[in-house]
Structure 1
């Protein structure tokens, strides 16, 4: 543990833990997992229970707090909060093409297979035992973090006092193809909403797509921009303030010059900031595996790419309205993004892998006794509401709040209210 840091209304401590890469081989290779412990300044000397936060992703480090606000403010009223950098991210041992370069192709597949939710939860358990002297703690998961919560409830429910989920109740049984068939339909709706809100957006995207097809446009990160890459901006359409960010970027993409229409250098920089495939490669590499389970007896096999063939409207044609895609991963991304190119063979091997272990135990979840409260966003572009409700019906002792007030990242926008609502749901349950 390192010394305290003082933020605005928060005291922060750094913790570094040595954990097995593969928990089936506990004496083998070790990696480091980082966790930041935060507490409000007024509570820093109190013996408070812990709440551990599981970040969305996969492949993103935990939020870096700046001040005592949002969901953190509500949590710090009664908890010490653990912000976990899931293995492979943040200050934990990183996973990228540089750290994998010394391994053979076969060893790389085995290595990255250890970076799923099951081992993230094993890491959390290792940390809990060291920090709490084997007492229960509370857990909160956003998006993929909610998938981690369900895995935790399957694997070690006795370690959890209460659980909270925002925008992240996974299907327990459906395959990746089912997920993407539903997802494409929701992305079409988000596109329709986007073009209805911004009346000149179709004209702007059409002009930009034509310019990209006829010119060699090089992004600030060095890649040649393609129309397929442009469509990836749609990942932002399912976020609060995301459509606005996309529109304002498109609005200034092309500029008039003495030599005619040219690409705006500002666009070339800001485009890269709205996509994070170069900076967070685990997301592209492992995203489809979060939908794979042993009983499916098949790999994801580039599910989003295959299912897209059922939705031909996403294949851009000049003169037609360009449709943005969403949280989909495609094999060509490992040919176009610089930091993904070295991972192309590995990505293909991961896509073909069919011997994934199960992440959820339905029988245990059907007998769950841990109080669980979840926010389900009816307009969520990333996590299908109907599949979330299917799961909620299976998990005992789970209460949910369905709302159309927020997009997928509602916890970033109004986290204090959302977490307070969920805490009230769990606490009212315990009083019955």
Structure 2
């Protein structure tokens, strides 16, 4: 397979860090290498004093699926630690950021079946194929290091399964998936974690229940339109819970609720500030790949069948009834979202086909992982709302040469909040240091 790359002719300075843009033309479907091509973008970061040095690469796999790599504004966090000894490559995974982005506009030339077939090529297996094609150009003949956050950890385990020869070492934060458990099993566990985070949230903010009750009553009595044009429903309000599993996320949700309703000369009204900020706290309109493929990241030779929606019926307390306690949901995708979010509506039929797809290829090679020789260091957050700790530990026991740091210090987005410290500890762990 031949691919083409073009590079920016000049380095760009970003707060003391030098950045270079890379664009790669790669196959949509690697079984048809001469067929349709997509663009994959990556941003390379280097310290000025290291620009002439032959440093190894550290490639970052973003959480998601469906989100472009971070756009750094300063030399801070985990990037600051990494740049001491690596060149950092921030990869916009296919379909995200500047990598042939996916949305209803880019897919509107296809019918539903064509959209579903196209989208089936955007899971971790092809993300890793892209990375290997890029390595052949940027680091020919030399393995590189990788760091995966959340869904990025799924990509790391796929890399270790399919192309370990391309890796020097690997790091995972908040993202060790089960190698074999179904989406339904995963959601049964994570609903319990969401319940626990709800208890924590309403204990921390005792008046939040009253604020929400007033808001829900208002929503039921009035047609409330968001800044993005949708009618705000109670089910949609529950989706804010994806934020309460993040460090500082609970505070953001609470402060938003405080300002939800205002008193005017014409009575109680929804605060326009709430309508604008609410839309900004959910990514379903802006990052549709997250809704379209989230459940498929767990699928191997099986259909998801809207697993989160089905499992929710086992936890009826999440189905709000007037007068009953309100609960937030978490990182769950529901079929009604493709009826309520404007930018998902055109993709509803494709989403149904993807939910019914039962021939997803296997992602992990248990035999290869058992005999893995690539050093792997992982941070497992015991209180993580998004990842079941028991399943992470279960997988860790099945992967050779994997060391982990189990901690209650961080929520799921720990790498964003204290990345320099976390990556430093993982590098030390991979290199034999004993953590205290």
Same structural fold, with TM-score higher than 0.5 when normalized by the shorter chain: yes
1:66 is aligned to 73
Range that drifts further, 39-48 or 403-412 = 39-48
Report the equivalent of 2:411.
407
Residue 227 (structure 1) aligned with residue 234 (structure 2): yes
After TM superposition, the structure 1 = structure 2 runs for residues 32-431 of structure 1, keeping only pairs within 5 Å, are 32-294=39-301, 298-428=302-432
Secondary structure in structure 2 of the residue aligned to 1:177: helix
Q: Map 1:1-12 onto structure 2 (within 5 A).
A: 1-2=7-8, 3-12=10-19
Aligned-pair CA distance for 1:105: 2.2
Q: 1:322-349, CA deviations, whole angstroms, 9 ceiling, x for partnerless residues?
A: 1000000000000000000000000000
Task: Specify the alignment match of 2:4 in structure 1.
Answer: none
SS at match of 2:238: helix
Deviation at 1:318, TM superposition (A): 1.5
1:42 CA drift (Å): 2.1
Partner of 2:168: helix, strand, or coil?
strand
Secondary structure of the residue that 1:400 maps to in structure 2? strand
User: Partners of 1:186 and 1:142 in 2: how far apart?
Assistant: 19
Q: TM-score, normalised by structure 1?
A: 0.98
Q: SS at the partner of 2:72?
A: coil
How many angstroms apart in 1 are the aligned matches of 2:290 and 2:115?
A: 16
- Offset at residue 321 of structure 1 (A): 1.6
Give CA deviations for 1:184-233 in whole Å, capped at 9, x if unaligned.
00000000000000010000011101111110000000000000000000
Inter-partner Cα distance in structure 2 for 1:52 and 1:259: 55
Report the aligned-residue RMSD: 0.9
Structure 1 counterpart SS, 2:130: helix
| Structure having the larger proportion of residues in helix | 1
1: CA distance between counterparts of 2:195 and 2:366?
32
Separation in 1, partners of 2:114, 2:277: 36
What runs of 5+ residues in structure 1 fail to find an aligned partner? none
Matches of 2:116 and 2:208, distance apart in 1: 42
8 Å Cα contact 1:40-1:68 kept in structure 2: no
Contact (CA 8 Å) 2:190, 2:386: kept in 1 or not? yes
Moved over 2 A (4+): none
Q: Secondary structure at the match of 2:138?
A: helix
Are the aligned partners of 2:60 and 2:90 in contact in 1 as well (CA < 8 Å)? Answer: yes
What TM-score does the superposition give when structure 2 sets the normalisation length? 0.97
Give the length in aligned residue pairs: 427
- The farther-off stretch of 104-113 and 165-174 is 104-113
Greater alpha carbon shift after TM alignment, 311-320 vs 279-288: 311-320
Q: Is the 8 A contact 1:87 1:120 kept in 2?
A: yes
Q: Structure 2: state its 5+ residue gaps.
A: 1-6
The answer (yes or no) to whether the contact 2:112–2:347 under 8 Å persists in 1 is: no
Could you report, residue by residue, the CA deviation over 1:263-312 in whole angstroms, capped at 9, with x for unpaired residues?
00000000011101000000000000000002xxx300000000000000
**Cross-structure match for 2:3:** none
- Structure 2 residue matching 1:99: 3-state secondary structure: coil
